[in-house]
Structure 1
Amino acid sequence: TRCGYCMPCPHGVDIINCLTEYNIAHMMNDPKASAMQYFSLIDDDSRADSCIDCKECIPFCTQMLDIPKELQKVYEYFGSEFDHF
């Protein structure tokens, strides 16, 4: 939802942009363009795969999302940069 209550992540994950790009990817139905946007917008060490599942973000989420679980979905969808280029 981009509210930002879960930020900053203590491990540097860009939670907001990771989830936003994932949601846009599903709306656009263009996986390659979505992957290009995800990998160009979000730094290597701020991507979903940097989440260590510490769950420190969960109590701050007003939408009651299991953010680490959602970030795992983002990682599974986008995979690694080498899967797309």
Structure 2
Amino acid sequence: MITSFQMRAGRALLGVDQKTLAEMAGVSLPTIQRMEASEGPVRGFVDTLVKVVGAFDRAGVELIGEHARSEDGGRGVRLKQPGPPRPAG
């Protein structure tokens, strides 16, 4: 399952905008905008989700699911389980 947060983070890692991601995935710009505007897991047609995940994969971005291990190494970002806020300093 892909989340809107993962999509935005994946685009940031690649340094691409929504239009470029849409072109990479072969979907429309409004589709990407709609997917990223949602909160939490992205909803949509399975084939559309597969296209977007495939585009990230071909570009070298691994979308890691919750509790999944990343075995390939490389740089990346992973959101930790939210905890109590820590004081700055």
Q: Tell me which interval the TM-score lies in, with the shorter structure as reference length.
A: under 0.3
> Highest Rg: 1 or 2?
2
TM-score, length basis structure 1: 0.27
Q: Which structure is higher in helix share?
A: 1
TM-score, length basis structure 2: 0.27
